[in-house]
Amino acid sequence: MSHNTTEINRQLRKSGYRVTPQRQLILDAVCQLGEHVTPEAVYDHVHRIAPTLSRATVYRVLHFLTEQRILAMVYMADGRLAYEMAGPEPHHHLVCRSCDSLLELPHSVLRSFRRTMDAQYDFEIDVSHLSFFGHCTDCRDSAGA
Amino acid sequence: MSHNTTEINRQLRKSGYRVTPQRQLILDAVCQLGEHVTPEAVYDHVHRIAPTLSRATVYRVLHFLTEQRILAMVYMADGRLAYEMAGPEPHHHLVCRSCDSLLELPHSVLRSFRRTMDAQYDFEIDVSHLSFFGHCTDCRDSAGA
DNA sequence: TTTCTTGTTGCGAAAATTCGCAACAAGACG
DNA sequence: CGTCTTGTTGCGAATTTTCGCAACAAGAAA
């Protein structure tokens, strides 16, 4: 696996949380399954290894790891939620509401915006992933107005 | 109701969609119920007037009206989706992943960012509502890192 | 290693959301 | 006003996500 297990475990324990086999399994699963991993895909994966691991736990752990900034939530084109490792190299998406297309957005575009939020509102926008909804080149005309 | 029914109806018909009593009822409901209206709240409301109107229709119509930019999706603090009228005066939110607090963000902050997206990517970001997740003043320290 | 505290999990049920398809009806046309 | 086309709805089942709570176990302390 490509994530630093030891470091993450230490971080969790430091915050008073526990490092359970379930959490490690789920984290490994997201890591292995790549980008845009759905909860169901995670469940399918870990369930083979640990058949008693429940769906509820998958959802809870995904949410938990996101809160800990170890994972990042991704809004997919169809509006559903997915997850991926919150790597050091953030990327973002432009999601078209009409055709569900998905444009990648380099992080650099957001730097100044993020700095503004930080300075003016003392709010640290989650840099690991952002999704902007709207209408792309092809759809902005046909969508009226 | 405060929305311009005639204008909206015309817009829908022009695009080849139909103006049904269900759609009008649901739109009125969102309008009356104010900001951050949940699908369930809409259902409760319209179901009293039209008992046969199904939940599926509520979800479908909310999604449809959002696509038509008549409604706007709102991500609430608990992560659930809500809707509101896509008025001419957009506002946005900073949602804290830790404490679920919700900060209002004036539209002006986003103007230049939006212009950039438009110019560089020919992508029209939905101005009616944006939500940024992250960590607020109180939580950014405690969340580790 | 044993004990103890309390964060976590599993389970099953509940709630929320989506789907498939036949019946229905908006609105264009004559 | 009647007819026709096809976008929409209702229903019930399937899927997805969440909840409540007792049993469990991670990890600190002795």
Q: What ranges do the domains of chain A cover?
A: 1-87, 89-145
Q: Architecture of A1-87 per CATH?
A: Orthogonal Bundle (1.10)
Find the mean pLDDT for residues B106-134.
Answer: 82
Nucleotides of D under 7 A from a protein CB: 7-13, 16-20, 25-28
Fold held by B88-145: Dna Ligase; domain 1 (3.30.1490)
Task: Look over chain B and give the mean of its residue pLDDT values, rounded to a whole number.
Answer: 86
Q: Architecture of A89-145 per CATH?
A: 2-Layer Sandwich (3.30)
User: What residue type is A115 in one-letter code?
Assistant: R
- Whether the Cβ atoms of residue B131 and residue B96 lie closer than 8 Å to each other: no
Q: pLDDT grade, residue B127 (50/70/90)?
A: low
Cβ-based contacts of A123 with chain B (< 8 Å): 94, 96, 103, 132, 134-137
Q: Does nucleic acid strand D have an atom less than 7 angstroms from the CB of A80?
A: yes
Contact yes or no for A144 and B103 at CB 8 A: no
Contact yes or no for B97 and A145 at CB 8 A: no
* Non-local CB neighbours of A129 within 8 Å, separated by 6+ positions: A72, A73, A74, A84, A86, A90, A91, A92, A93
- For B27-78, write each residue's pLDDT tens digit: 999 999 988 899 999 999 999 999 999 999 999 999 999 989 899 888 776 7
Strand A91-96 to A131-135 pairing: parallel
